[in-house]
Amino acid sequence: MKFLLHSLLAVYSAATYVQGMTYYMGGDPCSPNPCGSNTQCNVASNRPVCSCLPGHWGNPLTYCQRGECQDHSDCSHSKACKEYRCVDVCAGQCGVNSECNVRNHIPVCSCPPGYTGDPLTQCRRFDPQELCDRSPCGVNTRCEVINMVPTCSCLPGYTGSPLSGCRHECDSDYDCGPSQSCVNYKCANPCASGACAPTAQCEVRNHRAVCSCPVGYLGDPYTSCRAECLAHSDCPTDRPSCLGNKCMNPCAGQCGINAKCEVRGATPICSCPRDMTGDPFVRCRPFDKYDLCEPNPCGENAKCQPGYDKSGKDRPVCTCLPGYVGDALTYCRRGECQSDAECNYDQVCNNYNCEKACTSQCGINAQCSFSLTLLFAAALFIGSRTVNHHTSCAH
């Protein structure tokens, strides 16, 4: 008996397909072969079942092609062999924001740098402060992450071991150093709290601030210190200068022995009295006439000697040195001669200069004549002689 069966069902499982077809009871469901190329037909529950041949993949109802691989070694290191195909093993394997790396054809999920969490489900951005969430520090401490390492420190005003616990820095002044006091459980400089006036000086004694006005200032150091002076006019005559807001005598210890000091503004001016001389910064002594020539007021090649002017007042007198002529106040030059012998035959040496022998020698209506006499020395000295230049007048 022939039974006409109509099946419109197609089932896909592990690359195996069940082909709906029409056949008669008692016949071979796989004849004729209802499957595609590179397939095989098997009967299951009196129905043909098509599947790709080993090493092939595709649609067994139409065509199966030869597979890319037989095992993982046939694929690149980043892929794996699945149903004869090299596939991306990371596809859909890892969670949100995670990274997938293939190691020996096996997907390995991890959170990227800066992220944390379960890489198979979700990675979230990492907050370094989370390292302190496990409370690695003791009481009265704070935790900070430094170079990705949780670091414990005592809270301000506390001291001790931050890993085990911190306590108040102080409970009384005696818990602090001699220059500090205990303020709000913390050792502090009592002068830093404004205990003194703004212009006052503060010194710590026995944990307490002691205030005083600076030198030259007056007033209450705990309220206000004022300067002794602001200008020279604020000072008395014995301390006429206002220096650093203090009245002072700038001449004190500035000048030498016997010197006098005069204050101009705030500058001491030292000088010797009128009848004395010397260095006013070292010593002044009574004046001596030879002091007129110290320092030498004369010119070059001149000498200085004490003398007097027309009124009889002491003054230095400058003269050229022997053999020199010129202005003794400025410069004396070497003369032309020392004697007549150094001049021409018709000249004489006058005031170290060679001059005509007959110049202004004779009177009115007189005539000047010149004669030269050589006097040879008796001694036997070669070249030793005396030359006398003589002039005579005749009418």
Question: What's the pTM?
Answer: 0.29
What does the alpha-carbon distance between residue 235 and residue 249 come to, in Å, rounded to a whole number? 10
Alpha carbon 79 to its chain's center: 60
Strand 56-59 vs strand 63-66: parallel, antiparallel, or unpaired?
A: antiparallel
pLDDT at 22: 46
Q: Where are the domains of the chain?
A: 12-66, 241-278, 288-334, 340-394
Q: Edge to edge, what strands does the sheet with 16-18 contain?
A: 12-13, 16-18, 47-52, 39-44
Q: How far is CA 49 from CA 23, 194, 353, in A?
A: 14, 100, 157
The whole-number pLDDT of residue 189 equals 93
Q: How far apart are CA 259 and CA 262, in angstroms?
A: 10
pLDDT of residue 6: 28
Identity of residue 351: N
- Give the angle subtended at the CA of 50 by the CAs of 46 and 55, to the nearest 5°: 145
Which positions ≥6 away from 180 have C-beta within 8 Å?
173, 187, 188, 189, 190, 204, 207
pLDDT for position 392: 58
Extract the runs of DSSP E, i.e. beta strands, from 283-346. Answer: 283-286, 302-308, 314-320, 324-327, 331-334
User: What pLDDT score does 26 carry?
Assistant: 59
Q: What is the pLDDT of residue 152?
A: 92
CATH of domain 288-334: 2.10.25
The pLDDT profile of the chain, 395 residues, written as one tens digit per residue, is 222 222 222 333 333 544 444 444 557 889 888 998 888 999 988 899 998 888 788 898 988 888 778 888 888 888 888 888 888 888 888 999 999 998 888 889 999 988 888 999 999 888 888 888 877 899 999 998 888 888 999 988 788 899 888 988 888 999 899 899 998 888 899 998 888 998 899 999 999 999 999 887 888 999 888 888 888 888 888 888 888 778 888 888 889 999 999 888 778 899 999 888 889 999 998 888 788 888 889 999 999 988 888 888 888 899 998 888 889 899 998 888 888 888 888 888 888 888 887 765 667 777 776 665 543 333 333 333 344 555 556 55
